[in-house]
Structure 1
């Protein structure tokens, strides 16, 4: 058995990669990750250099994989270690480059160690043993699934970090009114008023599948997406080509909500789906309207989840504003292997203090949910 580095996903057949996936989550498919590379969204000067790690048997057959990237910064990860990097800079310790096991720009929990669990453990052991030789300060694996957690937790030297997101669960609702009926009277009135405010501005919505969108539609989608960064004086992570490549390679998993006023497009919300989950990813608008964000990103998404019989709506990172709209707190996990003994000790102490706060935050958040008490 041996460890190999794959600098370009195109060097491995899609069937060989996808065969290792435990479920068809869109973000781990060869189509998604290769679209990031082929579009220039990662690689080049992005600070995300593909460096996928493969564990192969004596015949060269891939047994396990870690989708990984050499990082020269900590942007686009959504597990924030800027403070650790800054402490290293002050202490004269090199923090970059580091190795990150993650899906770029996507704070979504899922498998990270793909393939056979025993082989994945061997891959992890070989990888951590070789970090010094590669002149890497650390290895981080973000937004891990329980199966990945079970592999990592058995190994010494790893630090666990908790986070909190907010997901909406479809409890067999027949329609949106059925969901409304599960809410307290005050919250139900508040949400209904929000939706009426948007409708009262003459704004209508339509939902489209990936294969139904033209390149002109994708131009609009990208314009909206990029505008969310430009208004903050930042450059967007994704390139325009990424969206066209994704539409070509996995159109069946794409859902886009368009908001229009008198036929003129105003905003969009781009999402992906798998067998049971709706993943809200990117949103953007060309003009500001009261409550438009909540309707486009959340309420339209909930309706789609109910209509398609999906079970969960993962709306990504951040957002206490999601709580009062029925999104419940969900704990996320990441794992960190730090080579420098002093850095390891400092981060271990920090995480020990941080953990109770995260757990208390998630517990307190439940008190703001809008559902009627049993």
Structure 2
């Protein structure tokens, strides 16, 4: 039998020592680190009027050691989540019920997979996981929230959540896995001939346009380079998605705080930077996050966001590259369809049953989609 655990709700990461929180983070995942999450709070990317109100759950053992935590937010909208529940909110509205506010365990504005139940290595994992899930659902009930959601948990933690009775929903992203490739040419040698030629053509288009690249870690990026990247980021959000939520000060802080985990790709025509892409990395995975450009040149997006990142993975021995949400075009570049997950607790009994039926039907359709997408793999079929 496990020891008694103490559950606490906090509204700021500043209430937890950085070293204590980071001790719970596996694989040095940058988005789960105290530096990243607290920078979001400090620079008002969450909190205030953002619609993301920090409500983190932390668990201490009988010796007052932090043994568990979940990054958690009260939400009054569904923006920045990448697991789309707009139709659920509309169904609530038609029934004259309030879907918002809700609780969401996620990394704001970031569709990366990973742990949502942070557990100390020495702790009773099953006990701490159950305590965190129960604490979040009880908080939702106590506050009168419609629901609680865990977005992009790891597959292992998805299984834990399913055993706790949560509704599991499937999604799909496109990830790259390093199968022991020695170089980019070696990687392409595993492609079917036509697919390989297409990639080489895209790379030549950029090279022939006279574009060169610089890759900088966080401690190598100047204030001027951060300002340039932030302008690219802000302009593409203004054009496509509306308000750019992440500030220049936030980006500069994570560059300082995570100096070797931030990777900025800068594309130049001569001495002029015309595009940039921001990545973050863990010990084993590169995560593509934001990009923008001044010129829409053929192949520039693929080179800046994908091929330069793949070169980085091969050079630094990373085993995985998650370039962000959506985008079937990634398959042709070797990013294969990969299941993602979310878990959901719904307070209203009838809606809980309806959403469970919906996600089961959706999962069957997702299985068909995955089978279809897998036929588009660029890799040669084994003989």
| Cross-structure match for 2:36 | 32
What is the SS of the residue equivalent to 1:164? strand
What is the SS of the residue equivalent to 1:295? helix
1:59 is displaced (CA, Å) by 4.8
Give yes or no for the alignment of 1:302 onto 2:310: yes
| Cross-structure match for 1:122 | 131
Distance 1:188 1:130, change over 3 A: closer
Q: Does the Cα contact within 8 Å between 1:63 and 1:119 map onto a contact in 2?
A: yes
1:2 is displaced (CA, Å) by 3.1
**Aligned residue among 188, 198, 201 for 2:196:** 188
Cα distance in 1 between the residues matched to 2:329 and 2:139: 43
**Aligned residue among 291, 307, 318 for 2:326:** 318
Cα distance in 2 between the residues matched to 1:208 and 1:340: 49
1:127 is displaced (CA, Å) by 2.8
Give yes or no for the alignment of 1:228 onto 2:236: yes
| Cross-structure match for 1:287 | 295
Cα distance in 1 between the residues matched to 2:176 and 2:155: 20
Q: Map of 1:53-68 to 2, 5 A cutoff?
A: 53-68=57-72
Cα distance in 1 between the residues matched to 2:319 and 2:26: 18
Q: Does the Cα contact within 8 Å between 1:270 and 1:280 map onto a contact in 2?
A: yes
Structure 2 regions of 5+ residues with no counterpart? none
Distance 1:365 1:345, change over 3 A: same
Q: How many residues align?
A: 373
Cα distance in 2 between the residues matched to 1:18 and 1:238: 22
Give yes or no for the alignment of 1:167 onto 2:167: no
Q: Does the Cα contact within 8 Å between 2:115 and 2:154 map onto a contact in 1?
A: yes
1:63 is displaced (CA, Å) by 2.4
Give yes or no for the alignment of 1:70 onto 2:79: no
What is the SS of the residue equivalent to 1:219? helix
What is the SS of the residue equivalent to 2:28? coil
Q: Does the Cα contact within 8 Å between 1:276 and 1:311 map onto a contact in 2?
A: yes
Cα distance in 2 between the residues matched to 1:82 and 1:60: 40
Q: Map of 1:1-374 to 2, 5 A cutoff?
A: 1-115=5-119, 116=123, 117=125, 118-156=127-165, 158-232=166-240, 234-374=242-382
Q: Does the Cα contact within 8 Å between 1:55 and 1:120 map onto a contact in 2?
A: no
1:289 is displaced (CA, Å) by 1.2
Distance 1:327 1:69, change over 3 A: same
Cα distance in 2 between the residues matched to 1:232 and 1:277: 27
Q: Does the Cα contact within 8 Å between 1:227 and 1:286 map onto a contact in 2?
A: no
Cα distance in 2 between the residues matched to 1:128 and 1:49: 17
Cα distance in 2 between the residues matched to 1:80 and 1:302: 29
Cα distance in 2 between the residues matched to 1:308 and 1:206: 16
1:283 is displaced (CA, Å) by 0.8
Distance 1:233 1:366, change over 3 A: closer
Q: Does the Cα contact within 8 Å between 1:39 and 1:245 map onto a contact in 2?
A: no
Which deviates more from structure 2 when the two are superposed, residues 93-102 or residues 51-60?
51-60
Cα distance in 2 between the residues matched to 1:207 and 1:7: 36
What is the SS of the residue equivalent to 1:188? helix
Report the TM-score when normalising by structure 2. 0.95
1:58 is displaced (CA, Å) by 4.5
| Post-superposition CA distance 1:294-342 (Å, at most 9, x none) | 1110111111111111111111110100001111111011000000112
What is the SS of the residue equivalent to 1:55? strand
1:282 is displaced (CA, Å) by 0.8
Report the TM-score when normalising by structure 1. 0.97
What is the SS of the residue equivalent to 2:375? helix
